[in-house]
Amino acid sequence: MTASHAIARCHCGAVEFRAAFPSRFVAHCFCQSCRTAHAAGSVTWIGFKKNQVELVKGAEFINNYESSPNTWRKFCTQCGTRLAFESAREADWADEFHMPLALFVTPVDRKPHVNSFLEERPQWAPYHEF
């Protein structure tokens, strides 16, 4: 049985979000921007519409970094955890709120099902075939 929502928190717990299902996708992204912004081989994102995600607490700890024109990556100013990706660059993404799956402390409604920007994946990065 699946709950109606899931809770996501940064490492220090100052910032907490509540996201309502259904999610739109769960994808492993290998683009260079995600990899460097998160200092990781890939970032697993879960996507929601903006109106499905509610900030429970921690607004004062959220900062926005514009990683490319019209694209913002939120992070916790207290612990440095990356919190979200928002972009007005692609029409599809304009009303979406993408969050790292790793932040979720309660189960979500789907498993990863797609690899994005595989052409930018370094050979050493972990890889799951679908």
Tell me which stretch binds Zn ion (CB under 5 A): 16-24, 71-79, 95-103, 107-115: 71-79
- Counting residues that bind Zn ion (by CB under 5 A) gives 9
Tell me which stretch binds Zn ion (CB under 5 A): 16-24, 48-56, 68-76, 106-114: 68-76
Which residues in 16-55 contact Zn ion (CB under 5 A)?
Answer: 29, 31, 34
DSSP for the chain, please give it. ---SEEEEE-SSSS-EEEEESPPSEEEEE--HHHHHHHTSS-EEEEEEEGGGEEEEE-GGGEEEEEEETTEEEEEETTT--EEEEEESSSGGGTTEEEEEGGGBSS--S----EEE-GGG--TTS-----
Least gap, CB of 4 to Zn ion (angstroms): 25
Interface residue list for Zn ion (CB under 5 A): 10, 12, 14, 29, 31, 34, 76, 78-79
